[in-house]
Structure 1
Amino acid sequence: MSYPDNHSTEQVLAFLTAMEARDLASAKRYLATHVVMQFPGAPPMQRLNEVVEWAKTRYRRVSKTFHAVDQCLYPNHCVVVCHGELTVEWLDGSTSTGVRFIDRFELTDGLITRQDVWNDLALAARTNSHC
């Protein structure tokens, strides 16, 4: 997916790609020092290792298929919203597909300052007979 002349969107997609690969060193380059990351059922997190440790108790791997990525510019920051579907590998090795997600990012001076995540992972876990 390419978004010419859309630096904030490219930053967000590069961050998400690095996170999916668990390349935390690369992902960290896209974050402001005071970033807040909020996931369903989790306390606000400020460090990538917190996100990884929290996720390890829920699933092995998640990959995203994007349906749309939208950007909205404001005078002092930018908002990027992604939505689509997740493919999840659960702790027992089973998988779920088509799990809806929305990620909302705020960026200031080219760095992510906030990430808010909404998804149906809890619903998918309940309906997955192997979990």
Structure 2
Amino acid sequence: MASKTETDLQAVKDYLDASMAPDPVRAASYVSPEFKCRFTGNREFDTPSGPTTFNAARYKWVKKRIERYDVVPGTDETIIYSLGYLYGEWPDGTPFDNNRYVDRFVVRDGLILNTDVWNDSAEWILDPSCART
């Protein structure tokens, strides 16, 4: 039988897999009814389709190369960080890679309560010379 922490981590992995498909309907099966996502630029969404729609306007396509998960077990909730790099294409078809990201999840009983998302995309859009491919 999986531990609470293992169950919570698997929920995050499955959510990210669905989000990158992108399949916001499947991603929604891993979030609680109280779900909140604070996305880059302090944009707030209450369903996984919010970030998916935002990403569709920002990128031609985007994926995550997950480097690691940092897990902080708690009594009631587990905090999980996903760290790695975004890669894909900007709307004009220009490829990008090595775009740092950090996602922070709060998970309880195998359901994601909230997530915070940070990455370098806005900086790279403002100053393309910052981007490394």
Q: TM-score range by the shorter chain?
A: 0.7 to 0.9
Equivalent residue, structure 1, for 2:111: 111
TM-score, L = length of structure 2: 0.86
Equivalent residue, structure 2, for 1:94: 94
- 2:94, 2:52 → 1: CA distance? 20
1:40 aligns with 2:40: yes
- 1:89, 1:114 → 2: CA distance? 27
Shift of 1:40: 1.1
Cα shift readout 1:10-31 (whole Å, capped 9, x = no counterpart): 1111111111101122111100
1:65 aligns with 2:65: yes
Give 5+ residue unaligned stretches, structure 1.
Answer: none
Aligned-pair identity (%): 28
Shift of 1:75: 0.8
1:85 aligns with 2:85: yes
Amino acid in the other structure paired with 2:21:
A
Give 5+ residue unaligned stretches, structure 2.
Answer: none
- 1:88, 1:122 → 2: CA distance? 15
TM-score, L = length of structure 1: 0.87
Shift of 1:48: 2.1
Amino acid in the other structure paired with 1:115:
T
Deviates more, 1:5-14 or 1:95-104: 5-14
8 A contact 2:25–2:49 mirrored in 1: no
- 1:124, 1:95 → 2: CA distance? 12
Q: CA RMSD in A?
A: 1.7
Equivalent residue, structure 2, for 1:11: 11
